[in-house]
Structure 1
Amino acid sequence: MTPSRALAVYDGSGIDGGLYRRVVGWADAAPYWLDQLIRVWSAVGLGLFAVLMTVAWWRARGAGPAVMARVLASPLIVVIAYAVNSFFKSLVEEIRPCAQLGVRGTLEACPGAGDWSFPSNHTVIAFSAAAALWSADRRLGRIAAVAAVLMGASRVWVGVHYPHDVLVGAVVGVLVAAVLSPAAGLAAPLVRRARDGALRPLLGAGAVAVAGGGTPLEPQRR
């Protein structure tokens, strides 16, 4: 095997395969309604983060330009985090636990060959979105953080990821957002100029004036 393929077709069951089997066993013994709720959340729950980003944009219309810049950058940050994660997936090529361990009857159909497991895409998307929102709007960031944890946990529950896939996915998502979100705030001058033009209805007025007329102030971060 060449060095470039040293990590190819990786078997991650030795890390936490036992914990994976335990969680899947819990899912098998859980009430039907709970399994179905988690299965649906795992499949479509990422849509909530798009909704939260839309709400963040609406709320940022009354905030300073740096806040709006971070909100507008949030979808791009998620895309970049997904690209970084795809690189790791192609490097490690870890076989899905349901395939590696021969687990049958998982809540989500076991992905086919070549659909690698490490790290979890769903988790990376959820945590990068949550971290990006946290940097712009603490209130929405808290909601997104809880949703991200639930998304990551659901990927193990439905049987398509090891716990370490989710843990590393969370780290990748948070790190990418932690680096890029502060940098997005540097685009505040662009947002400020755009607010003086035709985009004002979309970007809002931003800063609020001091009572009695004075220097405009950015509202406190929520």
Structure 2
Amino acid sequence: MTAPLAFGGASVDGGLYTWVTDLAHSTPHAVDAVVSGWSDYGLALFAVLMIAAWWRARGEGGVRMARVLASPVIVVVAYAANSVLKSVVDEQRPCRTLHTVTVEACPALGDWSFPSNHAVIAAAAAVTLLLADRRIGLIAVAAAVLMGASRVWIGVHYPHDVAVGLAVGATLALLLTPLATRAAPQVDRLRSTRLRPLVSTQ
């Protein structure tokens, strides 16, 4: 079996990455702490937004509810697909290749960089939510962009890792959400079962 070829991301936007990490290094610690906290734990916000979208969808039709219920499944599928892509590309983390001073400790060897899992998860969640509930989705889209930017700021990803991760997550969500819509009749049938409180306010 042929081993995957390692991808040297420094030649793509290593200079931009270094500029960002140097800026982060000269920024007050309180700012870095906030960005780092968001980068590490901000994905929880998307789970909260999914719950909020589910709550709002209970008073709507089956199509909207089907999309909301499918959103965590689509996120898991996007994460799994991206994990396979990461293992094929084999891009080393920029903090190991360029040896820059970073806000957070550099991930271990073998913890590949391209594309960013955080960006994929955030984008997939944001797009599924946008297609299900525009108001909540717009919040999620802004949060996804901030999540991607934070991954570069703390030094664990190149900008292209994040950009491609956002594109991968968004694309998979756009492709998979229409499939979820097909389940709308099944969701509507749940309204006449004991599970009615989960899908309806009636």
> SS state of the match for residue 168, structure 1?
helix
Percent of paired sites with the same residue: 57
Which residue number corresponds to residue 71 of structure 2? Answer: 74
CA distance in 1, matches of 2:124, 2:153: 21
Q: 2:46 aligns with which of 29, 36, 49?
A: 49
Q: Which residues of 2 match residues 22-41 of structure 1 at below 5 A?
A: 22-41=19-38
**Number of aligned residue pairs:** 202
Q: 1:20 aligns with which of 11, 14, 17?
A: 17
> SS state of the match for residue 182, structure 2?
helix
Which residue number corresponds to residue 136 of structure 2? Answer: 140
CA distance in 2, matches of 1:12, 1:195: 51
Which residue number corresponds to residue 8 of structure 2? Answer: 11
Contact preservation (8 Å) 1:13, 1:97:
yes
Q: 1:125 aligns with which of 121, 126, 129?
A: 121
Q: Does 1:107 align with 2:103?
A: yes
Amino acid at match of 1:166: V
CA distance in 2, matches of 1:88, 1:168: 11
CA distance in 2, matches of 1:10, 1:173: 21
Show CA shifts across 1:13-62 (max 9, x none): 00000000000011011122111100000000000000000000000000
Which residue number corresponds to residue 168 of structure 1? Answer: 164
Q: 2:82 aligns with which of 80, 85, 106?
A: 85
How far apart are 1:194 and its partner, in Å? 0.6
Contact preservation (8 Å) 1:195, 1:205:
no
Q: Does 1:184 align with 2:200?
A: no
CA distance in 2, matches of 1:146, 1:23: 20
How far apart are 1:205 and its partner, in Å? 4.4
Amino acid at match of 2:89: V
How far apart are 1:10 and its partner, in Å? 2.0
TM-score by length of 2: 0.97
How far apart are 1:201 and its partner, in Å? 0.9
> SS state of the match for residue 52, structure 1?
helix
CA distance in 2, matches of 1:21, 1:41: 21
Which residue number corresponds to residue 158 of structure 1? Answer: 154
Hey, which bits of structure 1, 4+ residues long, moved more than 4 A? none
Q: What is the aligned-residue RMSD (CA, Å)?
A: 1.1
Structure 1: segments with no counterpart, 5+ residues: 207-222
Structure 2: segments with no counterpart, 5+ residues: none
How far apart are 1:8 and its partner, in Å? 2.3
